[in-house]
Amino acid sequence: MIHELMPAAEKLMERHITSSKEWFPHLYVPWSRGRDFEADEEWDPEEFPLPAAVRDALFVNLLTEDNLPYYFHTIDNMFGPGVWGEWIRRWTAEEQRHSIVIRDYLTVSRALDPVELERGRMAQVSGAVVPQPPTPADILVYVALQELATRVSHRNTGKLIGDPIGYEVMARVAADENLHYLFYRDLVAEAIGLDPSAVVLAIERQVKEFEMPGTGIHNFAARAASIARAGIYDLALHHDQVLVPCVVRHWKLEEIEGLSAEAEEARGRVLTFMGRLERIARRQGERRRAQEGQLIDA
């Protein structure tokens, strides 16, 4: 599959280079807001008031970008040289800009505690916890879903920062993530044409076991719950804005032909799982809205 996908990867790489916009992190950072940090200075959250959930999202989003060496290692080891090496190096260079611009913005604006942030980065990168999809098809499916999920999370975080510059930073990063998503999404579509059964089995594994790459972050479960309650990234968004457009509309899971008996059963399980996920997401949303209504009434 890796070898047979190379012509498609070359075309998609060329499309990506043509579509990409050169940009410079330093031009997005409001340097004039900055001042020196004193050695014994305590971080004051009131200097940049934000809801706790938005701080959690910024923390998770940045530390996810910081774990880049291990994403590179996983993909590079699986796919190897040629156009794959060219792509993964380009992708890495673009992803690193994300951590640069987000960290510089957060440091200058003092939106997050820089000490907590650096300790979190050290723990995250030292721990090297990243998803490890088992096959090339699994990696392509996972990264397509992950890039789209990250785009949604970054953009929704930017909308809640309450700062036009912060919004522009997160929107710029989200635009890159969308181009990365399109590369991987369309490679999966090509892979379906080569080996539909293998890809459908990979889709089942990755849809059912999907985890955002920030799972190694300290206190990730509590932060993820906070992010979900704020509507930045929750089950409903995961179903409606990631799984449905990618798996159902673009990969057309329900229409794939030539499946083995095992893959046919896997397709049925994916569709059943997505239906159950949608019902759970709707119930969670209803409960959250009811609780918010109670708080308003109180």
Structure confidence by residue, pLDDT tens digits, 202-215: 999 999 998 876 77
Q: Would you say residue 273 lies in a domain?
A: yes
Give the pLDDT band of residue 292 (cuts 50, 70, 90).
Answer: low
Mean pLDDT of the chain: 92
pLDDT at 297 over 70: no
The number of distinct structural domains making up the chain is 1
Q: pTM of this prediction?
A: 0.92
Question: Cα–Cα distance between 286 and 289 in angstroms, integer?
Answer: 5
38-60 residue pLDDT tens:
888 899 999 999 999 999 999 99
The answer to whether residue 198 sits within a structural domain is yes
188, 81 in Cβ contact below 8 A?
no
Is residue 180 situated within a structural domain?
Answer: yes
Within a domain: 106: yes
141 domain-assigned? yes
Ramachandran class of 21: left when φ > 0, alpha when ψ lies in -120 to 50, beta otherwise = beta
Per-residue pLDDT, 108: 96
What is the structure's pLDDT at 124? 87
CA-CA distances (angstroms) from residue 99 to 93, 246, 247? 11, 26, 28
Output the pLDDT for position 129: 77
Residue 111 pLDDT > 70: yes
Domain ranges, residue 66: 6-18+50-297
- 281 in a structural domain: yes
Domain with 86 in it: what CATH number? Answer: 1.10.620.20
Residue 40 lies in a domain: no
Is residue 33 a part of any domain in this protein? no
Judge whether 140 and 187 are in contact, CB under 8 Å: yes
The per-residue pLDDT for 195 is: 97
